Amino acid sequence: MILVDLLKNKFGFDEAFNYKEEQDLEAALKRYFPSGIDIYFENVGGKMLDAVLPNMRFNGRISACGMISQYNVQGDGVRNLGHIVTKLLRMQGFIVSHYYHMYPKYMEMIMPLIKQGKICYIEDVVEGLESAPAALVGLFSGRNVGKQVVVVARD
Ligand SMILES: NC(=O)c1ccc[n+]([C@@H]2O[C@H](COP(=O)([O-])OP(=O)(O)OC[C@H]3O[C@@H](n4cnc5c(N)ncnc54)[C@H](OP(=O)(O)O)[C@@H]3O)[C@@H](O)[C@H]2O)c1
């Protein structure tokens, strides 16, 4: 519940739910998006992608950033890819390393928005390089709340 509150009240999402508390992801998405989904930012893959596909609207777009549910498993197959054909969906991946040359331009764009409070973020900070392995493993079980940062040394 705390996470849902955070998403709605701090980050300003219209709706949010905790996938760990839902028996049927497809039904949950239908409940929260009764008219369907136009744009889906994919960070999870697997069962979540499978539940999203039938809920996509015609000509919907999926921006594929990551598939964290799939990194440590094999064969958690996606069955609903046919919706890409029948609903004329477009799905495109991207990877940050292809865009490093745009980083200075990104900083110019993002810094004023952060200062104005139009974009906000939360950091989950752990101290010391020795904390890094546990912090990394914690990403796969939702231990962190906010961007996981490891402080190697403080000046
Ligand atoms: N395309 C790129 O260039 C790029 C660059 C960096 C990262 N990424 C991707 O972006 C995504 C987020 O990465 P991040 O570094 O910012 O990590 P993050 O969101 O801070 O942490 C990962 C979160 O994923 C959730 N998670 C873990 N296993 C899951 C599962 N099986 N099903 C659903 N959710 C699960 C956990 O939250 P819960 O508590 O909700 O489970 C965890 O807090 C990842 O998919 C990553 O690969 C892409």
Average pLDDT of span 131-146:
92
Average pLDDT of span 83-91:
98
* Backbone region of residue 103 per phi and psi (left: phi > 0; alpha: psi in -120 to 50; beta: other values): alpha
pLDDT of residue 3: 87
Q: What amino acid is encoded at 28 in this protein?
A: A
Average pLDDT of span 91-109:
97
Taking CA atoms only, the protein residue closest to ligand 1 atom 27 is 140
Average pLDDT of span 57-61:
98
- Domains with residue ranges and CATH for the chain: 2-111 (3.40.50.720), 122-155 (no CATH)
Instruction: Kindly tell me if the per-residue pLDDT of 155 is higher than 90.
Output: no
Ligand 1 atom with minimal separation from the 148 CA: 20
Average pLDDT of span 133-138:
94
User: In the numeric block, which tokens belong to residue 153?
Assistant: 């040394």
pLDDT of residue 1: 65
Average pLDDT of span 69-91:
91
Instruction: Kindly tell me if the per-residue pLDDT of 110 is higher than 80.
Output: yes
Residue with tokens 């962190």: 144
pLDDT of residue 149: 95
Ligand 1 atom with minimal separation from the 95 CA: 3
Strand locations in 19-116 (E): 37-42, 56-64, 90-93
Q: Which residues form the pocket of ligand 1, taking CB atoms under 6 Å from any ligand atom?
A: 43-44, 65-69, 94-96, 139-140, 142, 144, 147-148
Instruction: Kindly tell me if the per-residue pLDDT of 126 is higher than 70.
Output: yes
Taking CA atoms only, the protein residue closest to ligand 1 atom 31 is 69
Instruction: Kindly tell me if the per-residue pLDDT of 75 is higher than 80.
Output: no
Taking CA atoms only, the protein residue closest to ligand 1 atom 22 is 139
- Pick from 43, 50, 76, 102 the residue to mutate for probing ligand 1's pocket: most ligand atoms within 8 Å of its CB: 43
Could you give the CA distance from residue 112 to residue 85 in angstroms, rounded to a whole number?
40
